[in-house]
Chains A and B, each alone.
Chain A
Amino acid sequence: MCRIFLYSAFLLTFSTFGAFAATPEELIQRIRATGKEGKGNANASVAWKELVALGELALFPTLTAIGTSEPIPANWLRSAIDAMAQKAKQEGKPLPAQKLEAYVVDRTNPASSRRLAYELLVSLDAQAPDRLLKGMLDDPSTELRRDAIAAMIAKTEPLISSDPKTAAKVYRQLFAASRDPDQVQAIAKTLDQLKVEYSLIKHFNLIDQWWLCGPFESANGTGWNRKFEPEFKVDLSASYEGKGGKPISWIPATTTDKLGVVDLNKLLGKHKGAVAYAFAAVESATEQDVEFRVGSIVAVKVFLNGENLFEKEEYHHGMSIDQYIVKAKLKPGRNEILLKLTQNEQTEQWAQKWEFSFRICDATGGAVPVRLLQEKTVKKEGK
């Protein structure tokens, strides 16, 4: 009798747990319910523990979910991967290296997920980079691509002196493949050494020809939120009342800076408490998702075809290429880009610059097929 009772109890317990044991997908869904200001944290912390406890069973669904989730749940899942790897190591049950490698080489998996899988793989198999990186020079994961390029640079460096012709050929390929600005510029230095011509403007797809208009009045920062005429309609033949009541109009400007930096102090004169607009039109053959990558030492707003896509009100805290990444969708045909660049009134010597850079690229940072509409076209179409 007692044995029957215990057996029944065991079956009941087993079936109950079996019936309610959550799948990785269910647990991931619970973590995906996290949101702003700590929403869902209490439930997510419980789901996180259960997910980690599932170990290998949850590994690949979790990896994939990282690359397809919003940033908040993605970070919950990112930490879960680390905990799973630690658990596997402590239990003496290594993660499945072969499956990880298959996951890494399958480019249909999300780029960020493949990168994490690669790191797990490398922790298990130190030879994996030698095997895999050579095929990753064009990888959609910029981190994998960066490592692949770095590995190739290490291999090619000795040729710079011993066989410069071959080195030049390889470095040209690496330059074309590279995406991270620091790596691109490091390769460019070697190209200089090898006397190979290149263009950072073209490589980064920086816009180096603009129409500029300014200064508009922005005493006491009032210009940042004030919509001046160009925000309603860009008319390159129009004149406006500028700062101090002076008439201003659009002027064409081309920067010769190798990273496409446009110096407004040089082109419009040095003004504090002022707004300037920069306009360019590009033609896209198709509808395409792109990234606008912006650098600005002053407060900046980005408009595409009249829509305000991005704004950042920060002044004189540094500037670099790719400082801000703005997701955008170009329509087929003509697309109008307008930047609003607001200079503040700080008097310190280090707070006098008024400059920006702008490029159009894909999610890896590579140039996308767009054509900058030239002065004549812009003038004609702007009228």
Chain B
Amino acid sequence: MKRQWAMFAVTLLIGGPLAAADWPQFRGPGGAGISTETGLPTTWSKTDGLRWKVELPKGSRGLSSPVVVGDRIYLSACSGAKGDRLHVLAYALADGKLLWHRQLQATGLTHCHPKTCMAAPTPVADASGVYVLFATADLVAYDQDGTMRWYRSLVGDYPTISNQVGMAASPILYKDLLIVPMDNAGESFLAGIDTRYGQNRWKVERNRVINWTTPVLRTVQGKTELLFQTSGNVTAFDPETGRKLWEFQGEGPSTIPSPTISGERVLLPGRPLVAIEPAKDGAKPSVAWKSVQMQTGYCSPVSYRGKVYAVTSAGVIVCSNESDGKLLWQERVKGPFAASPVIADGLLYAVNEKGVTFVLNIKGDQPELIATNDLADEILATPAVADGALIFRSDTTLYCVGKKK
């Protein structure tokens, strides 16, 4: 258990200094889906229990999660008849005041499945500002006050890039590198892009297969690995150089939910969920366990205090033992779910596509469903957790759920 917490702490530090309450990327610190926040709200509705809510740009859409660093929330959105107007917004965490709003014109194709849109990848932020990737492969960096630092049209750079189902994999930060996943039907790659001027430090070729997973970082014995999952495969890279370190191939890993670090193991969601144990010498990883009960559609699993939690497509929250994958309990709630669950202070929050959040107390051996909170709004994005609040976004509204200050 101690080792697991140490791993989590190391993961938090990989991307640079962050305040305790920050939620800087897809699924929060380290992409773990876990916050160290306490005293979070458990009950709310569309009208009660909100610290604030603000309307998003008229006619805009977005499946990307809000991210939080310091006193501000960053968000992406898209609008227009073709979804080709791209928005980056910054709001004050305290009161939801719009601090700045920048727009771009999409340079890539905007054709996609109607459920998604061009604002599907989640931005990543640090103290210096925010980096935003859109499903059009437009990539931009602004400082915390909205000053443009750099811009890349990745389709301009690599014209065959295309995923007309709609891209959603999110970039992450490693030191002074922005890690950009770009598995698609055209030229596919994983790239380390320098955060200062947006130029490639390294770029490795990938198979031309569409993929929506977000990479994660894993540090073992002081050495950091960058893990990137796709169908039937997860590959570890040296994040400094892009050099391939090891690879796992086998039944399980899918192209939608993202992998999760669980102690020294890696949870590869898919059909089934597979927990692998990478070898210390770079040899082929071994399979620790597999779980058909924990196979998910869109949602990524969470590893928390020795247990693994997943939300299935059918709307069942499943808990298994982290050590052997043994099923501990299942709680049927109402789906469908697009957002991944998040956990903080012994509470699991799972929001379904209709905006209903199920709050489970998971401190004991069995779960206790302590609240069902309805925002009556379509929520497809994983919420952020920061400053004693949960931050949800729909197409139309950004909600900060928490006590008023």
Partner of B100, one of A86, A143, A146, A313: A86
B residues within 8 A CB of A52? 147
Interface string of B156-187 (1 = CB under 8 A from A): 11001011110000000000000000000110
Check if A80 is an interface residue, CB within 8 A of chain B: yes
Q: How far does the alpha carbon of A267 sit from the alpha carbon of B210 in the complex, in Å?
A: 30
Check B150–A38 contact: CB distance below 8 A: yes
Those of A141-186 within 8 Å (CB) of chain B: 143, 146, 180, 182-183
Q: How far does the alpha carbon of A82 sit from the alpha carbon of B103 in the complex, in Å?
A: 7
Check B164–A314 contact: CB distance below 8 A: yes
User: Closest CB-CB distance, A77 to chain B, in whole Å?
Assistant: 10
Q: How far does the alpha carbon of A230 sit from the alpha carbon of B354 in the complex, in Å?
A: 52
Those of B92-115 within 8 Å (CB) of chain A: 100-105, 107, 109, 111-113
User: Closest CB-CB distance, B164 to chain A, in whole Å?
Assistant: 4
Interface string of A28-66 (1 = CB under 8 A from B): 000000101110011011001100100000000000000
Check B198–A41 contact: CB distance below 8 A: yes
Check if B152 is an interface residue, CB within 8 A of chain A: yes
Q: How far does the alpha carbon of A38 sit from the alpha carbon of B196 in the complex, in Å?
A: 11
Closest to A80 in B: B148
Q: How far does the alpha carbon of A48 sit from the alpha carbon of B140 in the complex, in Å?
A: 14
Check B199–A41 contact: CB distance below 8 A: yes
Q: Which of A200-208, A284-292, A315-323 lines the interface with chain B?
A: A315-323
Check if B138 is an interface residue, CB within 8 A of chain A: yes
A residues within 8 A CB of B112? 318
From A36, A44, A72, A75, name the one whose CB has the most chain B CB atoms within 10 angstroms: A75
Check A71–B153 contact: CB distance below 8 A: yes
Range for the number of chain B residues in contact with chain A: 35 or more
Check A317–B210 contact: CB distance below 8 A: yes
Check if A312 is an interface residue, CB within 8 A of chain B: yes
Check B149–A314 contact: CB distance below 8 A: no
Check if A117 is an interface residue, CB within 8 A of chain B: no
Check B156–A71 contact: CB distance below 8 A: yes
Check B186–A314 contact: CB distance below 8 A: yes
Chief secondary structure at chain A's binding surface: helix
Interface string of B79-98 (1 = CB under 8 A from A): 01110000000000000000
B residues within 8 A CB of A80? 148
Check if A334 is an interface residue, CB within 8 A of chain B: no
Range for the number of chain A residues in contact with chain B: 35 or more
A residues within 8 A CB of B102? 79, 82-83
Those of A125-151 within 8 Å (CB) of chain B: 143, 146
Partner of B150, one of A45, A74, A112, A320: A45
Check A313–B185 contact: CB distance below 8 A: yes
Check if B151 is an interface residue, CB within 8 A of chain A: yes
User: Closest CB-CB distance, A75 to chain B, in whole Å?
Assistant: 5
User: Closest CB-CB distance, B169 to chain A, in whole Å?
Assistant: 16
Check if B329 is an interface residue, CB within 8 A of chain A: no
Partner of B103, one of A37, A48, A78, A315: A78
Check if A228 is an interface residue, CB within 8 A of chain B: no
User: Closest CB-CB distance, B168 to chain A, in whole Å?
Assistant: 14
User: Closest CB-CB distance, B243 to chain A, in whole Å?
Assistant: 21
Check if A76 is an interface residue, CB within 8 A of chain B: yes
11 A-B contact pairs sorted by A residue (CB < 8 Å):
A37-B199, A37-B200, A45-B148, A48-B148, A78-B103, A78-B104, A78-B105, A79-B140, A80-B148, A86-B100, A180-B82
Binding site for A on B (CB under 8 A): 80-82, 100-105, 107, 109, 111-113, 138, 140, 142, 146-153, 156-157, 160, 162-165, 185-186, 193, 196-200, 210
Binding site for B on A (CB under 8 A): 34, 36-38, 41-42, 44-45, 48-49, 52, 71-72, 74-76, 78-80, 82-83, 86, 112, 143, 146, 180, 182-183, 312-315, 317-318, 320, 323-324
Not counting A49-B147, A75-B153, A314-B164, a sample of 16 additional A-B residue pairs whose C-beta atoms are within 8 angstroms of each other reads A37-B157, A41-B149, A44-B151, A75-B105, A75-B138, A75-B140, A75-B151, A76-B148, A78-B105, A82-B101, A82-B103, A82-B146, A83-B146, A314-B186, A317-B165, A318-B113
